[in-house]
Amino acid sequence: MNVFEMLKRIAQKTTYDPGTDAHREEMLGHLNEAQNEVFSAEAWNFATRESKLAVYGDVVVSATIVAGTPNVNDASGLGVFADWMQGQLIELEGVDHYILDVVSTTVLRLAENYPNNVTGGAAKVKQRFITLPGDCEQVVSIGRRSGVSPGSTDGEHEPLSRGSDRQWNLDLSQVGSPSMWVPGDDVSIAPRHVAPAVAVSAGGTLPVGDIKVVVTHHDMHGRHSAPTPPVTVTTTATDKTLTITLETLGTARTLGIRRAIWFSVPGTHSFRLLEENIDESVTTRVITALPVTNWQLLDRVPRQDGNYQTFRLYPRQDADMTLTLTYRRRPEPLVEDADTPTIPGPFHEYVVNRVLMDEGWVTLNSPTMARAYAAKVHRQFRAMAQRHLDKAPKPIVKGGSGMRRSSRVDRYLNAEYFDRN
């Protein structure tokens, strides 16, 4: 069941008008709220995702720095600096410094000017923090599957709380084969609140009608800020070229950020990626056509508003390796008419019934309608719990149901659906 069908079903039972944009936005909010609610209620197997994370051992280089400047030059000229080093640490003369940007394979930029001249001195780049995927809600496990014997637990890293990390005062300089992981500070990519200026001119092949444009800032790890306020312009049969003027930020690679432009064309509701990795010094982009024919498949603007979770390994990895991350994810938001809930198909109706239950209580003041849909929601939730709870298999006890009822499910259902008067 897609968004169009869900909104149609709701319109048949309520006073909701699918032709009114304000009503559509309101109902989409309720549908997404219902989907988010069921996702967070239990440890569903359909909410579990596996991802591979590349982590890197320390990189030792011979560095040259001019006092009073922020650039660290690779004196060897081997070109060992890589994108992953942005936001990490480089040890210079026994002190760690934050890497603001990777200018090239031979130049790093620090967040501050370095006070001393360095000529061919030893420097060590350390990957201390690793970013979790943007849709990660909760980590289930982190470990290695490659290079580890089947059935062995050597590759599974134990979680360690930040409180225990402080209590044990773990040595951050310790390097070896990791055995634990520790949550790190969240990274926030700060938004720029200056919207782009967009002008329409002759020529081009862009669609005719209202086109909306937003801009995000991002780093070399693909972590994006929240978007700027949207700017809407109208193209015509003869004027289908956009000139987008971006905020002036300064010379290249001084802030450690790039820009990305996102667009929404007539008949759509989500913003798609038009262009990214636009340098700080660039102020103008001229767009005459959509980037690809099947632009509907382009990435949508990130939805975590610039906040990303991180973790670190202990001891810090002594070599490059690939970690397997298992995590609980957030559901994909319902935006376009063709979008479908991120739950198994047989239970899409749950999301609609959950909204109708609330509409019965809040909007229509109909306890009869609300209780009828609450009963449906209860049955569907129980069915999902029977089929899709992510847990280890248990032996079937003779004379029993074969599945122990979850107290969390009971609390969720009873409090939400049956304790209302």
**Is 337 among the domain residues?**
no
Question: Among 191, 197, 199, which residue's Cα sits nearest to residue 301?
Answer: 191
Residue 161 has pLDDT above 80, yes or no: yes
**Is 191 among the domain residues?**
no
Per-residue pLDDT of 132-158, as tens digits, reads 999 999 999 999 976 656 655 557 899
* Together in a domain, 316 and 303: no
Residue 21 has pLDDT above 70, yes or no: yes
Domain boundary among 78, 110, 126: 126
pLDDT at 295: 86
pLDDT at 416: 47
Per-residue pLDDT of 287-344, as tens digits, reads 999 988 888 889 999 987 889 999 999 999 999 999 999 999 999 999 999 999 999 9
Section 190-212 average pLDDT: 92
**Is 358 among the domain residues?**
yes
Section 248-277 average pLDDT: 88
Number of folded domains in the chain?
4
CA distance 63 to 77: 10
CA distance 46 to 72: 46
**Is 336 among the domain residues?**
no
Query: Given pLDDT bands bounded at 50, 70 and 90, which one contains residue 407?
Result: very low
**Is 401 among the domain residues?**
yes
CA distance 222 to 87: 12
Domain boundary among 268, 294, 329: 329
Per-residue pLDDT of 54-81, as tens digits, reads 999 999 999 999 999 999 999 988 899 9
Are residues 239 and 198 in contact, defined by beta-carbon separation less than 8 angstroms? no
CA distance 325 to 135: 13
Section 33-50 average pLDDT: 92
Question: Among 114, 113, 107, 119, which residue's Cα sits nearest to residue 82?
Answer: 107
For 399, phi then psi, to 5°, come to 90, -5
* Together in a domain, 260 and 236: yes
Residue 395 has pLDDT above 70, yes or no: no
**Is 155 among the domain residues?**
yes
Per-residue pLDDT of 312-321, as tens digits, reads 999 999 999 9
Q: Which residue has the tokens 């009822």?
A: 405
Segment (H or E) for 7: helix 3-13
Burial of residue 52, with CB atoms counted within 10 A of its CB: 0-12 exposed, 13-18 middle, 19 or more buried: exposed
List the helix and strand counts (H, then E) for the chain: 6, 24
| DSSP calls for 95-144 | EEEEEEEEEETTEEEEEEEESS-EEEEEEEEE---EEPPTTEEEEEEEE-
pLDDT at 412: 46
* Together in a domain, 78 and 167: no
* Together in a domain, 318 and 234: no
Residue 402 has pLDDT above 90, yes or no: no
Tokens of 302: 């990130």
Residue 16 has pLDDT above 90, yes or no: no
CA distance 224 to 217: 6
pLDDT at 406: 41
pLDDT at 404: 38
Q: How do 156-159 and 180-183 pair as beta strands?
A: parallel
pLDDT > 90: percent of the chain: 69
Are residues 329 and 135 in contact, defined by beta-carbon separation less than 8 angstroms? yes
CATH of the domain at 101: 2.40.30
End-to-end CA distance of the chain: 31
Angle among Cα 21, 273, 278 to the nearest 5 degrees reads 130
Residue 398 has pLDDT above 60, yes or no: no
Q: In what order do the strands lie in the sheet with 321-329?
A: 48-55, 321-329, 136-143, 156-159, 180-183, 310-314, 130-131
Q: What is the mean pLDDT of the chain?
A: 88
pTM of the entire predicted model? 0.84
Q: How do 156-159 and 321-329 pair as beta strands?
A: unpaired
The domain in which residue 143 lies consists of 48-54+130-186+312-329
**Is 215 among the domain residues?**
yes
Section 354-367 average pLDDT: 84
CA distance 288 to 81: 36
* Together in a domain, 177 and 318: yes
**In sequence order, which residues have a C-beta less than 8 Å from that of residue 80 and are 6 or more positions away?**
59, 61, 74, 105
Question: Among 164, 167, 160, 166, which residue's Cα sits nearest to residue 183?
Answer: 160
Segment (H or E) for 385: helix 367-388
Are residues 92 and 126 in contact, defined by beta-carbon separation less than 8 angstroms? no
* Together in a domain, 201 and 303: yes
Are residues 177 and 315 in contact, defined by beta-carbon separation less than 8 angstroms? yes
Section 253-269 average pLDDT: 89
Segment (H or E) for 139: strand 136-143
